[in-house]
Structure 1
Amino acid sequence: MDCEDPYESLPPSTTVSTHMLAGAAAGIGEHCIMYPVDCVKTRMQSIVPDPKANYRSVADALLKIVRYEGIWNTMRGVNVVVGSAGPAHAMYFACYEKLKTVLSGGKQGNHLAHGTAGCMATVLHDAVMNPAEVVKQRMQMYDSPYKTCLHCATSVYREEGLRAFYRSYTTQLSMNIPFQSVHFMIYEFSQDLLNKERNYDPKTHMLSGAVAGACAATLTMPLDVCKTLLNTQEHCARTHVSYINGMMAAIRTIFEFQGFSGFFRGLQARVLFQMPATAISWSVYEFFKYVLAKNNPDDNYLKVGGISVQAASSATSR
């Protein structure tokens, strides 16, 4: 339905850089705050875990890493994520906002348009993040031979070539396109239920984001395990190949070593990572939108928690 919703859409004069700035802040916050749990997820997805890194649970893994390797080992590789998450999420949210408006025709409740916009934005996001994921996950593995992210990147390039940084790209897209489609549709649907007026409400943004992240993470878990194997390239005596290339090769390898259950190793860690990560991402993003709208000099008003505050120019709801 059409209605005045200055916060939700931001003023017509809002530039692409506004969405990019909000998206960059959201992406960095999402990836960094829960980074230790992401480290645990990567290790738990190993198809041939070292006995010293065979963890029973997320808590057990964190305790062992801190006790035997030091607390900073839970953050190995975080700097490459910080450097990549900003531009990747900037393009991601800017593309999403633009395509969502175009595809939905400015109408609220068109969840198919939200999902489609999320898919298309993911292609750009993953093109930037995939090389960073390769470096990050190799740094996160137990007993990683790399000293720094730069050492890892140069070693991979020298030994495996540029292709190594995109070996998992199609698998990551195969995972992230349904992940983001489900993620955005559930987030928007939850907002329709919990925040019909689409006011700035941190509680509903966090709750909607957490539910969306948990559902999407569970649905796409097998593909995430495949992506980790392609990125880390664990060498196993029985594979008889130099490198594992492509999703089907990853699926065969995981099934050979661990059976069907292998596709869900680390599920608890992934859900525990995604729930607060997506909650943080949406909260930061919506906060930036609210602040930018509030500071726009105009005479229109935006209701927040039943209180009217000066807001941005009127715009139709998405």
Structure 2
Amino acid sequence: THWRQPLAALGKDIFLGLAEAIYTTIPAGLLFFATDEACKQLLTKVFNKDRRHPGVHLVSAASAALVSATVRVPGDVLKHRVQAYMYNNMWQGAVRTLKQQGIKGLYCGFRVTLLRDVPEMALQFTLYEALSRASSRWAVGQPSDASQAPSPARAHPLLLGGVAGACAAVVTTPLDVLKTQLQCSHGCSLSGALRTVLQARGWPGLLAGLRPRVLQASIQSAVFFTAFEALKKGLAWQLAAEQQAGLQHDREERVQLCGQLEWEGC
């Protein structure tokens, strides 16, 4: 039985911080979507651009990543500290962090997180929309025209999302390496983190952990965009059903009104 205790501890530690991640991911995701949609509506109205324009997606996704980071970063700080056995849970961690460091303690690494997340989110959403339009045009043989609505005949969002997530992860891996170095080195500047990585491993050090990060990002992005498209389709069906019900109700009211007018005329 000497191996059972380490094995049991390993099974428990694998999921350490999972609850903390769930508690913050859901509100951060909702805030991201709300900000992204609001920015798209504003940009299309102010600049008279189609909401599928790459620039609209780029700015909207970057703005949404910036706003949602206000919720995501405190959750990441508490999650990492729970995983490092500093606290038993996020609630204990939040209370102690606020007492010892104040609100700033919950936003440790906020700038470097934005340095990685904003370009990654922007690239991920922009690439996904570009790949989605390209797959639609390829499926129906249409010319390249960003103003045309996407065709239903398109590659599955599971594939497109995975490719977009993998590409964005490759591009932003150097930023992720520098972010990790900054968070592990108290008071280290970005230039200092870069020098540390280059001195330790050279330029290849900026791509440390590339394979597991690409694998993780591709899976997360594939699942995310599949759920995202399913949600959009469900909302579209609901809106269409409500509009159809409204038209039917208006039609019945007009018929009743005409019947009343005919009766009064008689």
Q: Which bin holds the TM-score, normalised by the shorter protein?
A: 0.7 to 0.9
Matches within 5 A, 1:198-237: 198=150, 204-231=156-183, 233=184
The normalised TM-score by structure 1 is 0.62
Alpha carbons 2:136, 2:154 under 8 Å: kept:
no
5 Å-filtered alignment, 1:85-234, equals 85-104=25-44, 105=48, 107=50, 109-141=52-84, 144-196=85-137, 198=150, 204-231=156-183, 233=184
Quick one: distance in 1 between partners of 2:20 and 2:153? 32
Cα deviation for residue 258 of structure 1 reads 4.2
Query: Is residue 298 of structure 1 aligned with residue 236 of structure 2?
Result: no
Q: Given the superposition, is the C-alpha separation of residues 171 and 185 from structure 1 closer, same or farther in structure 2, using an over 3 Å criterion? A: same
* CA RMSD, Structure 1 to Structure 2 (Å): 2.8
Q: CA deviation at 1:156?
A: 3.9
**In the aligned structure 1, how far is the partner of 2:98 from the partner of 2:67?**
22
Bigger drift between 288-297 and 157-166 goes to: 157-166
Q: Which moved more, 1:282-291 or 1:247-256?
A: 247-256
SS in 2 for 1:298: helix
Q: Residue type of the partner of 1:299?
A: Q
- Tell me which structure has the larger Cα radius of gyration: 2
Give the superposition deviation at 1:201. 7.4
> Are residues 1:82 and 2:82 paired?
no
Change (3 A) 1:150 1:260: farther
**Residue of structure 2 equivalent to 1:71:** 11
Please report how far the alpha carbon of residue 280 of structure 1 lies from its aligned counterpart in structure 2 after TM superposition: 1.1
The residue identity in structure 2 corresponding to 1:227 is: K
d(CA) in 1 for partners of 2:67, 2:230: 24
Q: Would the alpha carbon gap of residues 155 and 229 (structure 1) be closer, same or farther in structure 2, given more than 3 Å must change?
A: farther
Rounded to whole Å, the distance in 2 between the matches of 1:201 and 1:126 is 35
Deviation of 1:130 (Å): 0.8
1:281 aligns with 2:224: yes
CA distance 1:202–1:76, change in 2 (3 Å):
farther
How far apart are the structure 1 equivalents of 2:83 and 2:126?
31
Distance 1:157 1:260, change over 3 A: farther
Q: How much does 1:247 deviate?
A: 2.8
Gaps of 5+ in 2: 1-5, 138-148, 246-266
CA deviation map 1:24-72 (0-9, x unaligned): xxxxxxxxxxxxxxxxxxxxxxxxxxxxxxxxxxxxxxxxxx9474223
In the alignment, residue 210 of structure 1 is paired with which amino acid? G
Which of the pair is proportionally richer in helix? 2
Instruction: Report which structure shows greater RCO (CA 8 Å, sep ≥6).
Output: 1
Indicate conservation of the 8 Å contact 2:131/2:160, yes or no. Answer: yes
1:229 is displaced (CA, Å) by 3.7
Change (3 A) 1:284 1:76: same
Unaligned runs of 5+ in 1: 1-65, 235-242, 301-318
Question: Whole-Å Cα distance in 2 between the matches of residues 86 and 229 of structure 1?
Answer: 27
Distance 1:157 1:222, change over 3 A: farther
TM-score where L is the length of structure 2:
0.73
Give 1:108 deviation, angstroms. 5.7
Q: Displacement of 1:133 after TM fit?
A: 1.2
Asked if structure 2 preserves the Cα contact closer than 8 Å seen for 1:171 and 1:246, the reply is no
* Letter matched to residue 273 of structure 1: Q
**In 2, Cα distance between equivalents of 1:88 and 1:212:** 21
State the 1:257 CA deviation.
Answer: 4.2
Percent identity over the alignment is 25
